[in-house]
Amino acid sequence: MSPESQGQNEHYLSVARRGFRNWRGGRPFWAGLFTMLGGVPIMYFPYANMHLGNMTLAMSTTAGAGSLIIGVLLVTLGLTMWFHSIVRVFAGVAAILLALISIPVANIGGFVIGFVFALLGGALSVSWVPGEAPAEQEPAAPAEEAPETVSFAKDETLPEGALHGAGIPQQQAYGPTAEIEGGRHRAG
C-alpha cells in the first residue's frame, strides 16, 4: 500500500462526518435546529411541575393545548426546513409568526427561551440561500493582439474604434494647472 491511496482506508467516522457535513451544507441546518429547540420549551413548560424543596410549582395554564400545538408545529417546521428546504421561506415566516403568537399563549414564549430560539430559527430560514455549484471553467481564449502604444494626449486623435468599449473616463487635470472658475471648482 502506498501512502497516497488514503480513500480506501479511511475510518468510518471520518466518512460519516464528511457525509453529514455535505448533507448539512445543502439545507438550512442551523435554522431547523434553532426552530426545533424553540419548540421544545414552548410545549414543555405548560405541562411541567418544578419541585423546589417540598414545594411544587405547577406551570400548567388554560392555554396548555395551545402551547402544545405551537411547540409541535415549530418542531415540524424545523424538520421541514431540514428535509424540504425548497419551502424554507414559508417555514421561516411560519416559525416567526408562531414564535410571536407564543408570547401571550405559552407562558411568555416558553419563558423567552423558546421565543428567542424560534425567532432566530425562522429568521435564519428566511435568509438562507442555497450555494451554487462551482461552474466548470472553460480554457481562456487566446488574447487578441493589442496595439503597441496608445497615447492619450489631448491633441492626438485615435483611429475610430481604437478604444471601443474600453470604458475609460476622460481624465481631468487637477492641481496648479487646473482651470479655476471664479475661485471655485466645478463641484462647489
pLDDT digits (tens, 9 = 90+) for 110-122: 889 999 999 999 9
Identify which of 104, 110, 119, 106 has the alpha carbon closest to the alpha carbon of residue 41.
110
pLDDT computed for residue 177 by the predictor: 54
pLDDT computed for residue 44 by the predictor: 84
Span 50-64, average pLDDT: 74
- Asked if 96 and 70 touch (Cβ cutoff 8 Å), the reply is no
Least confident of 74-78, 124-128, 161-165: 161-165
Where residue 51 falls among pLDDT bands split at 50, 70, 90? confident
Span 132-144, average pLDDT: 66
Span 82-98, average pLDDT: 93
Span 125-129, average pLDDT: 92
Least confident of 91-105, 123-137, 140-154: 140-154
* Neighbouring C-beta atoms of residue 57, cutoff 10 Å: 9
Where residue 87 falls among pLDDT bands split at 50, 70, 90? very high
Q: Which amino acid is at 41?
A: P
* Neighbouring C-beta atoms of residue 117, cutoff 10 Å: 26
Put simply, whether the predicted model's pTM sits higher than 0.85 gets the answer no
Q: Read off the C-alpha cell for 172.
A: 481631468
pLDDT computed for residue 6 by the predictor: 57
User: Which DSSP string corresponds to the chain?
Assistant: --TT--GGG--HHHHHHHHHHHHHHTTTHHHHHHHHHHHHHHHHGGG-EEEETTEEEE---TTHHHHHHHHHHHHHHHHHHHH-GGGHHHHHHHHHHHHHHHHHHTHHHHHTHHHHHHHHHHHHHHH--PPPPPPPPPPPPPPPPPPS-----SSPPPPTTTTTT--PPPPPP-STTS--BTTB-TT-
Q: Does residue 165 have a pLDDT over 90?
A: no
Q: Read off the C-alpha cell for 53.
A: 424543596
Span 103-110, average pLDDT: 84
Where residue 49 falls among pLDDT bands split at 50, 70, 90? confident
- How far, CA to CA in Å, does 186 sit from each of 174, 175, 177, 180, 181? 11, 14, 15, 8, 8
pLDDT computed for residue 96 by the predictor: 95
Beta-bridge mates of residue 49 = 58
Tell which wins on pLDDT, 66 or 121: 121
Q: Does residue 183 have a pLDDT over 70?
A: no
157: CB partners within 8 A, 6+ apart: none
Span 6-30, average pLDDT: 83
Q: Does residue 97 have a pLDDT over 90?
A: yes
